[in-house]
Each structure stands twice: as C-alpha cells, then as structure tokens.
Amino acid sequence: MLWGSWGAALGLAGLLAVAVALPPVVKIGAIFTEDQRNSATELAFKYAVYKINKDKTLLPYTSLVYDIQYVPRDDSFHASKKACNQVQHGVHAVFGPSDPLLGAHIHSICDALDIPHLEARLDLDTDIREFSINLHPAQHLLNTAFQDVMAFLNWTKVAIIYEEDYGLIKLRELVRSPHNGDLEIHLRQADPESYRAVLKEIKSKEIHNIVIDTKPSNMQHFLKGILQLQMNDYKYHYLFTTFDMETFDLEDFKYNFVNMTAFRVVDVTDLSVQEVLRDMARFQANINADSKLNSTYLQAEAALIYDSVFVFAIGLQTLEQSHTLKLSNVSCDKEQPWLEGLSLINYINAVEFKGLSGPIEFKEGRRIQFKLDLLKLKQHALVKVGEWRPGAGVNITDRAAFFDPGTMNVTLVVTTILELPYVMMHPEKNYTGNNRFYGFCVDVLESISKEVGFDYLLDLVPDRKYGARDAKTGQWNGMVRELMQHKADLAVGSMTINYARESVIDFTKPFMNLGISILFKVPTSQQARLFSFMNPLAMDIWMYVFSAYVLVSITMFVVARFSPYEWHNPHPCDMENELVENQFSLANSFWFTIGTLMQQGSDLNPKATSTRIVGGIWWFFTLIIISSYTANLAAFLTVERMITPIENAEDLAGQTEIPYGTLESGSTMTFFRDSMIETYKKMWRFMENRKPSVFVPTYEEGIQRVLEGNYAFLMESTMLDYTVQRDCNLTQIGGLLDSKGYGIATPMGSPWRDKISLAILELQEKGEIQMLYDKWWKNTGETCSRNEKGKESKANSLGVDNIGGVFVVLLCGLAFAVIIAICEFCYNSKKNALTEKRPASAPHQSLCSEMGGELCFALRCRGSRQRPALRRQCSKCLPGATYVPAMLDIPPHPPQPPSRPPPTNGLSVHVCPEDTSLCDRMMIPLELQHHMQPQHPIHQQMDN
C-alpha cells in the first residue's frame, strides 16, 4: 500500500483544524486494473487531485490524499480485499474500477459501509444504487442517441457486431425498441479470430449499415478485416459505440469515402479542455510518469475519472458550509457504516458543473445531463457534424458530411429503361459504354454527375420494366428489384415516385412533375348534313320559336278583335254604310307575324295601342332570334365540328365499346389498382377482366394500338405530350387524373440521395432542366403542324340558357298587350253606354249589357259586322221599331220601296230627321236631309 507524503500536509492543516468543518486531510482511494497502470486514466486521476490541492478557491483548507491499488481484471477477490484495506485506513470515498464485474463488488462494500463510491464506467444495472455516483452516461440514453442517428440516416437493415457478452445486454434496447419496428437487425458476436468471417457473412447478405461494439484494444484488428474484404467504400456505413474513435488510426479509410460515425464526450476543440491537456502534459513531465499522454486528445475514461474527482471535491465544499465531517473507525469486519457517509453522498449527488466531459448533473446517482458530439470521417480527419443531448435529440449541423462523396472518381452503376424521349439507344453498333444512350434523362444524369462528382456506368434493366410488386408473391420486378438487391446504385428514367416504391427504395426530389391522362385518336370531322342550316339553334329553340309564332298570331287576332280601334269602315267614302271590318283576321294575323319574322314588309299595320304592343314585342323578339341565328351560323361555317365519343375519364368508365389500358407493371397501373375512387376502381375492374388484355408492355405498343383505332391509352402526361406533338392523328382527352413526379431512385439509405436532390434543385433553379425539356420535346424539328381547334373554340348550338330570356320578354309583352286590349274594350263599352240618348219609350241599356253585346260581336270570327252600338243608334230613329236588321239579315226578296227620287249618292240612309245630331255625327249632306221625311212604318221597314 503506497500512501502519498502526508507529513507536511498534516502539519499545515493542523493549525486550521479548529476553524473548519472538514478535516485538514481527506483520504480517497482508487482501484485500477493492471492494464490501467501508468495509463492516461491513472494520470488524469493524479492530476485532478493535484489541481484541486493547488486551487485556492476549492477546498482551500483541506488537502486530498489518494491511495491507488491495482488488481487483475476479473479478480473480484483481490479487489474486495484491497477495498477493505483502504476502508480501514479511513478513506472518505472510493473511485473505480472500470471493469463491470469488479465495480459491482466494490460497490457492494461501499454500500454496506455507507462510503461514497464514484465510478466512471458503463453500468447496465438499472436498479437505484444509494451510495453510487456514476459519471458515465446512462446506457438507455446512449441507445436513444444511436436510434436517432439511425433514423436520420434512414437505415432499414443493420447488423450489430458485439464482442463481449454484456455487449448484447448493452444494445438490447436497440433491438427491442418499438420505434425500430421496420428496422431489420442482424446480431453477430465476434472476436479477433472471427472478425473476418462475420464481416464476410454481412457482405454476402448485402448489409451495408453496421453497428460496432468491440474492445478498444481490438479495434485495429476489426479495421484490418474491413480492408481485407474491401468493405471500405461509400456503400458501407459504420457506427461505433466507443467514445474514443479519435484515438484510432483511420488513415486507410479517409480517401475511400467509407462512412464512419461515432460519438465523443470530450470536445477537444474547447479551449478549457485544451488548456487542461497542456497542463496535464507538463504535470506528467514533472512527476516522471511512464504514461503516454497525447496532448491533442483525451480518452473518455480519463476525462470521466478526472471529472469524478472534481465532483467529490465540490460535494465536500458544499458539505463544509452546513455539516462537520468526522471520520470514525470503519471496517469490513465490523460492518459498521460511516455515519457521515449519507450526508456526503447527498451533497455529491446535488453537484452541477461543467467538466471535461461536458455538463454534469445527477439524479439518484445517475448522470442525466451531458452532451455527445457526433463525429464523421472525412478526407482529412474526423470532424464534428452534430451533437446529441438528452431530451433534445440529435442536431445535425453538417448534413452534407453524410452525403458528400468528395472529388474522387467514384463509379456508380445506373440502371435504366428505354423510353422516348427519356432514354434512347443508338441503333449503330459502333457505340459502346454510356455513348450507346442518349435522351432527356441521359442529359439530366450527365449534369447531375458533374454537379455531384461521380462517374457512372449506364445499362438497361434485364426485364425492361420499371418495377411493381406482385400482389400474390409480394416480389418486386424491374428497376426496383435491381436497387433492392443492390445490383445498381441509381435508377434513372421516367420512373414515378409513389408510396409502394418509396417503402422499399429511396427517391430524390422530383425533376419533373406530371399526371395521368388519356391518349386517343383524333376524331374524324363531322360530315355536312342536308339540314345543317338548323345547327345554330338547338332543336328545342326551334320548337319554342314555332310555338311563339303561333301564340303571337293568335294573340294578335284576339286582341285586334277586342280593341274597338281596329274596326273601320271598309268604304270611307260611303258614309251611309253600316258595315265595319277588322283587318286582322286569323289568316292575316299569321301572315303579319311570319312577314316580320322573315324581316319582310306587310300591308297590315296595327292601329290600336294593344295591337301595336303585340307587334312591337314580336319585332324585338325576331330581332334577337335572327341576330343570334346569323351570328352562330357564321361560327358553324368557320369552326370544324368533331365527333368525340369520350370527353373525360368518366365517359371512358361509363362505356364498354372502347377498350382502354395502361402500361404493364407501371405506376399508372398501380394507381388504378390501388385507387379508392369509385370511377377509377370501375376502370380497373374493366381493364383487369378485359380479354384480350388491354395492358401493353411498352409505350410504343400502346401508341400503335391507339393509332389503329377504337382504343384509349392511359399514360403519363409528359410522354403523352411528346407523342401528341409528333403525331397529329393523336390527341389528349380530358385533363390530368392525378399529380405526381419523376425522380431518380436509389437503394434504401443510400448516401447519394440527398446530394443528388440538392443537385436537382440547383439545376431547376438555374433553368437547365427546363432547357433540356424544351430541347427534347419542342425543338427537335419533328413536331407536326396541326390546326389547333380545341374544344374551347368549337361552335355550339344556342339553347334555352343562351337566349331563353327573349321568350320571357315576349310573353310579358303579350300579356301586357292583352291587358291594354281589355282596357280599350271596357273604355269603349262605357263610352257607348253613356253617350247613347234613349227616349222614354226605349229600353234601358246597362254597361254590362253593352259589354256583353260588344263581346259577342268581337267573338265572331268573320271580318265585317254591324256593331251593336250602331244598330241601337239607328233603332232610335224608329219609335215603334224594336229591331234593326243588319245587312246580312235582309230577306232574299225584300218588298220594293215606293217610287221616289233616290238620294244623290245612291245610298239608302235611314235616319230620323228629328234627330239632327245623329245626322251630323254620320256627316250626311244637308241637301239629303230634306228628303228624309217621316214615312209610314211599313215603308220604313221596307227601306231597311
């Protein structure tokens, strides 16, 4: 047992013993394994004690004195004996050892005697230990950190290689975690003799993501096995569980772009850490220690043991402010606990400070606060690319580090499929290698390769398919299978990004957006028909016009007969004529309306207000109808009408005469197969059950079937646009059925995906992809010249929705004319009733009787009649007469009148000379009035 020189310290501290609560000397013990003798861990422990004793602010009146004991690894018996020996000499705390088995035995002794036990080792025991303070990060938190990194890297298949038995227990949470349900994990135990065999097995299974948990002393053997099996290229990604990755020689891996990732707890770039390393190097020289300390980095175990000493010192300092620390005789034999131990361990558990291993905080003896730096191997060295903290997760500060292949000439295997104009092959045999191919996707791949920095070898997929999963076997085919089996690094072509493919492979950002549309043969022009002049108006409009013509004609006839102002004397020079007639007979009414409809004149002119309203509203109606017909007729004569049996997908799904299909084993077929929309489900059932099959193996065959007629091909809009622009016999029907994009496919977890995505975004922002699109779609000189007559410019027959309003106006006008005619009729009847002067012997004529007589007169369908008012007026001249017959009521052989000079005008007018007002109203010449003498009643009757 080697103790430090305590004499001088005891003498100096004894003078101040009465003034402080801590003893002048505090003894601590440390137990290291034999392989840690003169190691950086031992040096860090000694340097920490030295620095605390030198510090004037931390324990200024107390000195730490250490005792170091060495035991063989896995020798718990001797470790327990030496720990009891340290306890008997009055140590206030025990540090170490790092071996899990030895550490458990030492802790049982400290726990029984209530002596603080400070550790810096991985502890897999999840039970709470009352007198243990462990500065090593808890393993369940480390497993969470590993899971976050694997999730960021999109790992779906990983192998875990562990060396010691407790390594499986350490990483068991990675296997059991519910977050890794989709992660395929392969567990393998290996040692230096079996490293090569295990790595060879992993390579044969095409597992490219590996978690390594080996002893630090055997790490070089493992790295050598990687080199021997040539598993040191960009395809492989190694995640190490050690915190000391910086201490290994990785020179052979820097320039092969192999991915190596690890965590560290000591940030050697921190200025305070660098200062401690320099001071520790000077301390090593002063004590002539044999340990080899690297001044540029510090191992995690050494940093943790250094921080544990400071945690103990800070706990002592906090205890000093409220308690007095006394040491009593403690022995393993007596099993009598130290009474002050519980207070000391509580104060140590409450310590919070920043050490070499980052922020330190404890909960029930477990470290819950720390920071892990994420390291990634680059060409020059391991660099920090992010960090991880409990509760905050992983924070990647340099994403490009995981996907940057550098400037090395890496050759990628690229699989593709022939498709116009994406990828085409020269028919000549003198082309070799990548020069055999040309097209839009080949140009895009060339631009991306220059942007990212890799070479490629382009070849065709063997089965000439994009890739779809078989519903029965669950197996994939085409380019998807090539990527899943890692036979290709990239898949380039018109490959659609969809859910099914994304679940088994990765896609970059889309370099082209598109959708599904319908390719159909251009319909033939409509043949001219004999009665094509009727096309400008719909058939129902023609029927409405005819009905309006009949209605207006009848309305004109009825209104003209009701209105008294439409009745006139057919012989205006014969003032004695008792007849009046109406020009709007039924035949004349139809002739008047047809004449105005044909925009021709007529000798019939309405005189009454009501009939003029009917005529005016009809003229307005014919103006609108004729103008609309003329305008639409011009459109029909200049626009080609097409016979299109289908207009959209709904029309296609609603018929069975025209078969339709898609490309076999393509994303379009998958879209209809998996769609939940009823229209598309119906279309899929039709395509699936149609015999012969409507699916085609290539786009060329599908286009040829469309050209043959009676077939619709469902294809992606970009390819359809290319085809339509080069063949004027083809056209697109309807719009897009969905929205999707083309992307470059990579195997799951490929390091090239994000880098290529960034390159695609940059090319899109520069407009280079659009320029390539125009080059292969529009500027090839192969586009056809078509007379674009889209459906938007097609002339359509005018229907009720277009000119239905004019019929409403016509009906309103007719109704108004009828109202006016009724008003005229009523007004004239009232006027006649008031103006008649009847003698006392004459019967009284009421307004209703007058209106009834006029109505009966108006309803007679013949054109000329003697109006009732005129008959009554003439009957006033005959006091004894009660009836004045009309001309039509004269008997065939009337009695001859007496011989007397006839009137000068040759007319027989029967008026009463006493009633001169009536003669004045009838404008009878004065010389004729002298001949109007009263006669015998029989003579009057004969004259009439």
Low-confidence ranges of the chain (pLDDT < 50): 1-20, 407, 640-641, 789-793, 837-842, 844, 861-864, 870-892, 894-895, 898-944
Which residue in 476, 454, 455, 456 sits closest to 465, CA to CA?
476
pLDDT in tens, 304-345: 999 999 999 999 999 888 777 777 678 888 878 888 888 899
Which residue in 865, 882, 861, 892 sits closest to 940, CA to CA?
882
- Given a contact cutoff of 8 angstroms between Cβ atoms, the answer to whether 784 and 723 are in contact is no
Enumerate residues 6+ apart whose C-beta is below 8 A from 129: 107, 111, 117, 365
Burial tier of 659 (Cβ tally within 10 Å: 0-12, 13-18, 19+): middle
Which residue in 223, 275, 228, 226 sits closest to 245, CA to CA?
223
pLDDT in tens, 381-428: 788 999 999 988 889 888 777 765 554 567 888 999 988 888 988 887
pTM of the model as a whole: 0.52
The angle at the Cα of 357, spanning 66 to 395, to the nearest 5 degrees, equals 170
Q: What DSSP letter does each residue of 677-702 carry, written as one string? A: SHHHHHHHHHHHH-SS---BSSHHHH
The pLDDT score that the predictor gives to residue 928 is 39
Whole-number Cα distances in Å, 822 to 609, 825, 851: 11, 5, 11
- Given a contact cutoff of 8 angstroms between Cβ atoms, the answer to whether 134 and 119 are in contact is yes
Burial tier of 846 (Cβ tally within 10 Å: 0-12, 13-18, 19+): exposed
The pLDDT score that the predictor gives to residue 846 is 57
The pLDDT score that the predictor gives to residue 794 is 53
The pLDDT score that the predictor gives to residue 786 is 60
pLDDT in tens, 656-698: 888 899 888 777 888 888 888 888 888 998 888 888 888 988 8
Strand-by-strand arrangement of the 157-162 sheet: 184-189, 157-162, 209-213, 237-240, 259-264, 372-377, 382-389, 393-396
Question: Across-strand partners of 29?
Answer: 67, 94
Enumerate residues 6+ apart whose C-beta is below 8 A from 395: 386, 387, 388, 389
Tell how strand 712-716 and strand 424-425 pair up: unpaired
Tell how strand 512-514 and strand 740-742 pair up: antiparallel
The pLDDT score that the predictor gives to residue 782 is 66
Q: Whole-angstrom Cα distance, residue 240 to residue 263?
A: 8
Coil, helix or strand at residue 820: helix
The mean predicted confidence, pLDDT, of the chain is 78
